[in-house]
Structure 1
Amino acid sequence: MRKGLWAVLMAGALLIGGGACGGDDGPSDGHPSPDAGTTPDAGTKLPAEEGRALAVSNGGLVVVGSTEANLATTGVDLLVRRYTPSGEVDTSFGTQGSVVLDFEGPAKGPLSGQREQDDRADTVAVLADGSILVAGFARGGSASDSRDFAVVKLRPDGQLDTSFNKTGRSRLHFGEENGVNFVGTVHSILPLADGRFYVGGFLTKSDGLDEDFALIRYNADGSLDTTFKSAGSPTGSWMGGAYTDAESVQGMVLQGSSVVLGGGDHFAAVRITSSGSQDMTFGTSGIAKSEGGQAHALVARPNGGLLLAGSRQDVKVGGELRGVLKLVAYTADGKPDVTFGPAGVRELTAPAGVLDVVDVSGLRIQADGKILVFADVYAKPVLFRLQTNGDLDTSFGTDGMVRWPETQLAVPLFIRSTTGPKLAILGDRAFVTDANIYSSGFFPNENARLLLKGTGL
């Protein structure tokens, strides 16, 4: 998206409210729609659910995403659920363990009765006091692909925190009031020590042709932080230019008072100061890039640098173009970290089992510096463990990988009501169950480093 588009955005400014909004997920962020084209039979099947992100809360696990529980009346709704350390639904949270939120809108849209106005959560953060921030998108208009940023704050017990924007939730609309010109989605939350927080994702015109970094800073009460300013962007926000065809904030790392955000085409990353300006000393002319592929995750490295993980689909292996896992390491200042690999890049082309990676939904660095990457390899969930230099850790699983059977489920595979393995990556531990329902003992005790049930490890 070119900066000229922000003249339209500035004319309407950012509209923030706590009321109605709906949601839909079109092709612009590369993920399937929340309902995935399924309609459960009442009384015979559990409502279809999709887990999108997870965090540790109250000793258990909070998972956010979407649910079709109210499909007939409200469309797909935002879902928050908490599980106990033993893997049971925590019935003390929300309503019998779940919070389901509808941001309003008709259940049916203009195209042959197709259900629209879907809401979805894509990211979650647990604050020091136990309260929970949840963010994603809500549909901004019933007859378009328009989407607004949606943020919800819950108390530790799962009830809406009405000190946040007076309702416990906010909708951030881009462009003119009632306009449907923009598509926005939040993929990352970064809380600050003083109660403020960043949300990051992407924003594009409704045609979805060019996604750009979008960064918003909120005050603790849910209002926009008007001290955060960037030339050419609405107050409270920093909006990126057309650095690549598609940039999306898939992760954020705090560096002092500045924040580094990265994700999308060519493993792009930028650094934004606390005042809201882009740090042009970062990378090359203000941006770090590695040509080829798309990054889906960003984390800080122990040496102060940055690591992005994603895939590249055009690598020639054995005379054929294949999808491969790609990792890019930058220094703290956005320069290629050549100690990690040539130009800071590692692309895994061997053994053959690492090929055809199409998505990455989990990236963590263990306390010992080893790297965990969870990816989708053509509908087969795979957990990779790599050495600090990017080599596969062959002591882990088979050739550095643990695989599960084909599931035909879109990643990330966290907690679902459907069959197939459920995987969670938390810090330096990974948890998985092959059962359809969680049972006692799903989570290990705090002394366990790694538990992979049903894998033989």
Structure 2
Amino acid sequence: MNRSVRKGLWAVLTAGTLIMGVGACGGDDGPSDGNPSPDGGTTPDAGTKLPAEEGRALAVSNGGLVVVGSTEANLATTGVDLLVRRYTASGEVDTSFGTQGSVVLDFEGPAQGPISGQREQDDRADTVAVLADGSILVAGFARGGSASDSRDFAVVKLRPDGQLDTSFNKTGRSRLHFGEENAVNFVGTVRSILPLAGGRFYVGGFLTKSDGLDEDFALIRYNADGSLDTTFKSAGSPTGSWIGGAYTDAESVQGMVLQGSSVVLGGGDHFAAVRITSSGSQDLTFGTSGIAKSEDGQAHALVARPNGGLLLAGSRQDVKVGGEMHGVLKLVAYTADGKPDVTFGPAGVRELTAPAGVLDVVDVSGLRIQADGKILVFADVYAKPVLFRLQANGDLDTSFGTDGMVRWPETQVAVPLFIRSTTGPKLAILGDRAFVTDSNIYSPGFFPDENSRLLLKSTGL
């Protein structure tokens, strides 16, 4: 997406035009119809078909687990709706949260412009953050028009009990529309939230034209009250935002790391990362001319390393191993300034091509570094969830599981992060904790003793 196009993106967007929904409740963004995965239905225990639900992200809340995603519970009336659910530490639905454990939100059609032939539009949460006071930020997209697949940034703030926090944008929710009034030709999705001191926060994701030919980093800074932070400015981008250039074919903010007052964004093609100052400008001293890249592959996660550097995890497809083409797990380490960290591997890169069980990785949806420096990567290996543990230098930790991997049976859905409505075991990975439903295959030897463990016993999401 070139700069001349980008300058018109928010021609009508100012702090005063932050749109609120008024309903009841890589960056590959999944199926273009906005619905959850077609295999995302549940198999009920007692013959009653449960609504299809999809978990997209999770965080610890109130001693339990809060999961966000989407639900088809009201499909006939409001389409696919944003869903937040909390579980207790014992794995039961926390009925003190929201309405009997869940919050369902509908943003009711586009923020501006025509409905485009569909009465209700689909909404989904893709990321969640729990703040120090227990309140919960949830973000993703609100569909802006079915004919063009337009999507707006959607952000919701809940109190610890799951009720909408009406101090946030007066209703507890906000919707950010891209383009001119009545335009439904931009796709925007939030993939990451980064809270700041004093209540402000960043949301990061991607922005593209509805044709999907190019995805650009998108970073927005909000005040605690839900208004855009107008002190955050970047040449060529609307106030309150930084919209990146076409650095690769596709960039999506899959993770953010604070460095002092600046923030590093990473994700998408070629393991791209950039650093943005607190004023909103791109730091051109970072990486090479302002961007760190490692050719080939796509990054799905970013974390800070204990030495101050950065680690991205993802996959590279069509790698020839043993005479056949495979997808392989790829990790890229950068220094704090975006240079290849050659202490991690040649050009800062490690690719796992052996043993054979590590091959055919097609997606990575979880990345954490344990206190001991070991690396956990959760990935989809052709519909089979796999948790890898690696040494700090990128070698597989063969003391973990089998050859450094813990595997679960086929799930019939594509990962990511991963409480899913499936016909098989349901699994979530958060840091170095495992959450398993429906099949007690947890082994305490897989995880350090000091970390908590949950067996989720409920069906559904």
TM-score, structure 2 normalization: 0.88
Cα distance in 2 between the residues matched to 1:266 and 1:22: 10
**What secondary structure sits across from 1:210 in the alignment?**
coil
Structure showing greater relative contact order (alpha-carbon pairs closer than 8 Å, 6 or more residues apart): 2
Which residue does 1:336 correspond to in 2? 340
Pick which of 106-115 and 70-79 moved more. Answer: 106-115
**Are the structure 2 counterparts of residues 261 and 16 from structure 1 closer, same or farther at C-alpha, using a change threshold of 3 Å?**
farther
In 2, the alpha carbon distance for the partners of 1:455 and 1:90 equals 14
* 1:106-144 Cα distance to aligned partner (Å, 9 max, x none): 999999999971100000000010000000000112432
Alpha-carbon spacing, 1:399–1:453, altered in 2? closer, same or farther (3 Å)? farther
Cα distance between partner residues in 1 of 2:73 and 2:34: 24
- Give the 3 Å change call, closer, same or farther, for CA 39–419 of structure 1 in structure 2: closer
1:86-125 pair list within 5 angstroms: 86-105=90-109, 117-125=121-129
2:181 to 172, 177, 187: 177
Contact 2:110–2:143 under 8 Å retained in 1 = no
What do residues 220-241 of structure 1 show as CA deviations (whole Å, max 9, x unaligned)? Answer: 0000000000000000000000
Displacement, 1:419?
Answer: 2.7
> Paired residue for 1:212?
216
- Local SS of the residue matching 2:32: helix
2:285 aligns to what?
281
User: What are the residue-to-residue correspondences of 1:435-454 with 2, within 5 Å?
Assistant: 435=439, 448=452
Aligned residues: 457
Q: Is the 8 A contact 2:7 2:236 kept in 1?
A: yes
Alpha carbons 1:23, 1:117 under 8 Å: kept: no
**1:363 match:** 367
Cα deviation, residue 177, structure 1: 1.9
Q: Is the 8 A contact 1:379 1:407 kept in 2?
A: yes
User: Is contact 1:429-1:451 (8 Å) kept?
Assistant: no
Match of 1:165, SS?
coil
Are the counterparts in 2 of residues 66 and 78 from structure 1 also a CA contact under 8 Å? yes
CA distance, structure 2, for counterparts of residue 234 and residue 352 of structure 1: 48
Change (3 A) 1:373 1:437: closer
Question: Per the alignment, in what secondary structure is the counterpart of residue 379 of structure 2?
Answer: strand
> What is the SS of the residue equivalent to 2:9?
helix
Output the CA distance in 1 between the equivalents of 2:307 and 2:428: 26
Contact kept? 1:370, 1:388, Cα under 8 Å: yes
- Render the CA deviation track for 1:179-198: whole Å, top value 9, x for unaligned: 11210000000000110000
Which SS does the other structure have where 1:4 is aligned?
coil
Deviates more, 1:107-116 or 1:64-73: 107-116
Question: Deviation digits for residues 313-359 of structure 1, max 9, x if unmatched?
Answer: 02111122210000000000000000000000000000000000000
Structure 2 distance, partners of 1:4, 1:249, is 22
Distance 1:376 1:181 in 2: 31
CA distance 1:160–1:212, change in 2 (3 Å)? same
SS of the residue aligned with 1:73?
Answer: helix
CA deviation profile, 1:264-289 (whole Å, cap 9, x unmatched) = 00000000000000000000000000
Name the CA shift for 1:16/1:120 in 2 (closer, same or farther; >3 Å).
Answer: same
CA 1:251–1:11 in structure 2 vs 1: closer, same or farther (change >3 Å)? closer
Whole-Å separation in 2 of the counterparts to 1:440 and 1:160 = 38
TM-score (norm 1): 0.89
Question: By how many angstroms is 1:422 displaced?
Answer: 2.4
Q: Deviations over 1:170-216 (max 9, x none)?
A: 00000112211210000000000110000000000111110000000
Change (3 A) 1:452 1:51: closer
- In 2 relative to 1, CA 167–423 (structure 1 residues): closer, same or farther, beyond 3 Å? same
What residue is the counterpart of 1:14 in the other structure?
18
Inter-CA distance 6–317: structure 2 relative to 1 (3 Å threshold): farther
Shift of 1:439: 16
Q: 1:234 to 1:113 in 2, by over 3 A?
A: closer
Question: Residue 423 of structure 1 contacts residue 432 of structure 1 at CA under 8 Å; is this kept in 2?
Answer: yes
Q: Which moved more, 1:95-104 or 1:36-45?
A: 36-45
Q: Is the 8 A contact 1:25 1:34 kept in 2?
A: no
Out of 312, 315, 318, the position equivalent to 2:319 is: 315
Report the alpha carbon displacement of residue 14 of structure 1 after superposing the two structures with TM.
7.0
Residue ranges of structure 1 left out of the alignment (5+ in a row) = none
Percent identity over paired residues: 94
Contact 2:90/2:454, CA 8 A, preserved across alignment: no
Q: From the superposition, tell whether residues 114 and 170 of structure 1 become closer, same or farther in structure 2 (CA, over 3 Å).
A: closer
